[in-house]
């Protein structure tokens, strides 16, 4: 996994501009924030941003963790009043039952099933009873439809709601689809209209044919 950390160490300084200053990045960021605004309504919650990177979504959390020291430098500089730690998401230093909510974006997509499972184990450990993790992941049904394949680690992982339902530590509470149409490729004048249609289709029975799924996973306290 070190190649992933090296990659983000090298990208850290330009990450915000490189990923979120273009039409695609701005669109994704806005839609993710719309969903987080719907789900994160209790300001008293203990919230961890897992793989917080440069701190794009750290305004929603009190704590951050990332394995790239360069990314951490940037997020610490932006959010001097937050507790941000360098750690592997698989082995954080937090005590059991610490957080109400964990958010984790643009992270699982770069891992493999084994690593995702280990990180979910750790999330289960550090979440309070009834805690939840909110994360995004590419939809495998969309990728199969478009015959998307990659040999690289970057963005290579995808999954389905059926697979996510098999995790015995968590149950799915809510799902959202994101980016059914490649909106950023349409001319500017058409985008506002398309965003509205996209939101409807990406949250209909065609949800899993969106590019990404956003999952609210609730900790299962039966085991």
Ligand X SMILES: C[S@@+](CC[C@H](N)C(=O)[O-])C[C@H]1O[C@@H](n2cnc3c(N)ncnc32)[C@H](O)[C@@H]1O
Binding site for ligand X (CB under 6 A): 1, 4-5, 8, 51-53, 56-57, 66-68, 71, 88-89, 105-107
* Minimum CB distance to ligand X, residue 184 (Å): 17
* Minimum CB distance to ligand X, residue 22 (Å): 14
Task: Closer to ligand X by CB, 51 or 134: give it.
Answer: 51
* Minimum CB distance to ligand X, residue 20 (Å): 7
Task: Closer to ligand X by CB, 56 or 219: give it.
Answer: 56
**Residue with nearest beta carbon to ligand X:** 53
Provide the token pair at 189: 């004048």
Q: What's the start-to-end Cα distance of the chain, in Å?
A: 30
* Minimum CB distance to ligand X, residue 37 (Å): 16
Task: Closer to ligand X by CB, 18 or 130: give it.
Answer: 18
83-86 sheet: strands from edge to edge = 83-86, 63-66, 47-50, 99-104, 127-138, 212-219, 170-178
Provide the token pair at 74: 């940037």
Task: Closer to ligand X by CB, 2 or 95: give it.
Answer: 2
- The number of C-alpha atoms within 13 Å of 10 and in the hemisphere containing its C-beta is 6
Q: Give the strand pairing for 212-219 and 127-138.
A: antiparallel
Contact at 8 Å (CB) between 176 and 204? Answer: no
* Minimum CB distance to ligand X, residue 66 (Å): 5
In 3D, which of 123, 83, 78 has the Cα closest to residue 101? 123
Helix axes 23-39, 188-201, angle to 10 degrees: 40
């Amino acid at each position: 996994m070190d190649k992933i950390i090296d990659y983000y160490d090298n990208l850290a300084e330009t990450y915000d501009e490189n990923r979120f200053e273009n039409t695609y990045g701005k669109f994704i960021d806005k839609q993710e924030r719309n969903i987080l605004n719907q789900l994160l309504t209790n300001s008293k919650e203990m919230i961890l941003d897992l793989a917080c990177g440069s701190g794009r979504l750290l305004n929603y959390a009190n704590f951050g963790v990332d394995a790239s020291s360069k990314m951490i430098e940037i997020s610490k500089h932006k959010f001097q009043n937050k507790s941000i730690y360098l750690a592997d998401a698989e082995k954080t230093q937090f005590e059991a039952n610490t957080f109400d909510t964990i958010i984790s974006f643009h992270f699982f997509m770069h891992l493999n099933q084994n690593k995702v499972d280990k990180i979910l184990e750790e999330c289960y450990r550090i979440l309070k009873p009834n805690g939840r993790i909110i994360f995004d992941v590419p939809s495998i049904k969309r990728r199969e439809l478009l015959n998307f394949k990659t040999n690289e680690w970057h963005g290579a992982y995808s999954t389905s709601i059926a697979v996510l339902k098999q995790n015995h530590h968590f149950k799915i509470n809510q799902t959202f689809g994101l980016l059914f149409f490649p909106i950023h490729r349409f001319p500017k004048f058409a985008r506002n209209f398309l965003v509205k249609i996209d939101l409807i289709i990406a949250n209909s029975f065609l949800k899993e044919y969106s590019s990404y799924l956003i999952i609210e996973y609730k900790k299962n306290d039966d085991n």
